[in-house]
Structure 1
Amino acid sequence: MRYLLVALLLALMGCAAQQEPFSVAIDPLLPSTILYNGEITPENVASFEQLITNSPTKIESLIINSGGGDVFAGIRFGELVFEYKLKVVVDKACASSCANYIVTASDDVTVRNGGLLGWHGGALQPIYVPITSNKQRANKMLRKEADDFLTQWQQAEHDFFQMVKVNQAVTILGMVPGLEEKRDAQLFSYDQQTLKQLGLHITYEGEQATTSRFGEYIVQIFSVSPDVLETLLTQHNKILQQH
């Protein structure tokens, strides 16, 4: 049912980047590093947790390539990154649940040259994009399940961001009036000054990438001055209080 409900929410949140086959392993050349490639699912995150828990050497770094996946699995993944104080390296891409809960959980994130990092929504997104559809209106039970899912997700995400001390608005700031009208890409991110103000610790090996290796424009980078950011966050907090 979780995936059914997530599928309904994808109409609002957009599709995650296309996933590559899943693999998780300790780097044979760097025994303190785990390589994670593919979708974030409960089963995949359980494999990661088993690997880091049973590793004969202390795991210090995570190299990840993921277009996202299940939100609760993503939160659990982020909790592990935070608990083990992992350095995170974004290889090719980190989007959706990967951006929401993995890079936000680390105090030391590096995005490799050409790597894509982008958000497209989170648990607070329905504030700006109400969940309505003919199918949902016709099926009250399905709507209740979706509402219950959102309630649980919103609480879990709130608690997560309180723990990692990152502003939860990072997941939806590109949807707030003032920026939403300027959206022209599937994913959004922010310049390094804005990322730092939101509580993230990210270093880019090159320029912030906006296009895939095939030249497709995927990530829009918002450059937001401190004054404008404060205004947007104040506006967001007022809307949040009304819900």
Structure 2
Amino acid sequence: MKPEVSGLYWSLRMKFKIGLISAAILLSGCATQKMAFPTQNQLTITGNTLVYDGMITGDAVLEAIRMVNDSDQKVTTLRITSSGGDIGVGIEFGHFIKNNDMDVIVSQLCFSACANYILPAAKSVVIGKDALIGWHGGANQSDEMWDQSVPSQYEKQFYRYLTRLRIKEAEFYNKVGVDPNITVYGHTRTNTCQRSTLANGWYYTESDMRHMGIKNLTVQGELLNTLNYHNSEINSCLMPQIFN
């Protein structure tokens, strides 16, 4: 999986960017793997809409919140294109969206932390034509999966951090009324589409998304399975129907 499209991987790198833990995570995996940094975010307010294009990072989300708070006109809608980002920041951004009763429009892409925390927090969700959405795990994914990203000598420090994230994530999903397993069904279901594809993540049928609590959902066209975003290809496969 390309590091620039992995929100979970990027979250680890951002949270442990200093000290030996950072070094271990950044150096793990293939020795020829290229370093990846988030592209500059594009944030604007047009009328009652915050337009957010880029990764979910602390600086960008703080700036977005400031722009909304300083706007002369009440901002009621978030129009987002994002490949994901930091888990903790994504949760806080989700709380902001929920607290401000904001509608969300996905213009092109909503992957990883965007799908995990932005869509569930929205008053309503509109997914635009030819957009790609995708989940690929969250704080509550299995320890076995996290162990693949963390060298064993740093597990103690990492799991203290992860425990806090898991509590925050559980509180968030309880607040917004969305199934917390929305982030992991692609890992835990025996008939997951990821068993037969090399997709970076997965997405759900409209009825399953509604069943899990995504509110007032409108999908304006067939969702994409592949998208080129900032010179990186992102793939998402459709999960078989989970709920009747």
Query: TM-score per shorter chain, which class?
Result: 0.7 to 0.9
In structure 1, which of residues 182, 186, 193 is the aligned counterpart of residue 195 of structure 2?
A: 182
Corresponding residue pairs, total? 215
Matched, 1:21 2:51: no
In structure 2, the partner of 1:222 is 239
Match of 1:212 in 2: 227
Query: Is 1:145 the equivalent of 2:157?
Result: yes
1:104 corresponding residue in structure 2: 120
Displacement of 1:223 in angstroms is 2.8
Q: Does 1:162 align with 2:174?
A: yes
Which amino acid in the other structure matches residue 210 of structure 1?
Answer: N
Amino acid at match of 1:59: V
Q: 1:70 maps to which residue?
A: 86
- Equivalent position SS for 2:107: strand
Asked if the contact 2:25/2:151 (under 8 Å) is kept, the reply is no
Q: Normalized per residue, which structure has more helix?
A: 1
- Name the SS for the 1:105 alignment partner: coil
Q: Which runs of 5+ in 2 are unaligned?
A: 1-13, 30-35
SS class of match (1:92): strand
- Aligned residue in 1 for 2:111: 95
- Tell me if structure 2 keeps the 8 A contact 1:19–1:67: no
* Matched-pair identity in %: 28
Quote the Cα distance in structure 1 between the aligned partners of 2:191 and 2:184.
10
1: CA distance, partners of 2:242 / 2:57: 36
Partner of 2:53: 37
Q: 1:33 touches 1:63 (CA, 8 Å); kept in 2?
A: yes
CA distance in 2, matches of 1:3, 1:205: 39
Structure 1: state its 5+ residue gaps: 228-243
Which residue pairs with 2:8 in the alignment? Answer: none
Structure 2-normalised TM-score?
0.79
Deviates more, 1:43-52 or 1:177-186: 177-186
Give the Cα–Cα distance (whole angstroms) in 2 for the partners of residues 18 and 62 of structure 1.
Answer: 24
SS at 2:168's partner residue?
A: helix
8 A contact 1:18–1:67 mirrored in 2: no
What amino acid is the match of 1:32?
Answer: N
Label 1:183 to 1:110 Cα distance change in 2 as closer, same or farther (>3 A): farther
Residues 217 and 168 (structure 1), Cα distance of their counterparts in 2 relative to 1, 3 Å cut? same
Task: Return the alpha-carbon distance in structure 2 between the equivalents of residues 175 and 167 of structure 1.
Answer: 15
Whether the 8 Å contact between 1:194 and 1:223 is mirrored in structure 2 is: no
After TM superposition, the structure 1 stretch with the greater mean CA deviation from structure 2, 180-189 or 94-103, is 180-189
- Distance apart, 1:177 and its partner CA: 3.8
Residue 74 to residue 130, structure 1, CA distance change in 2 (3 Å): closer
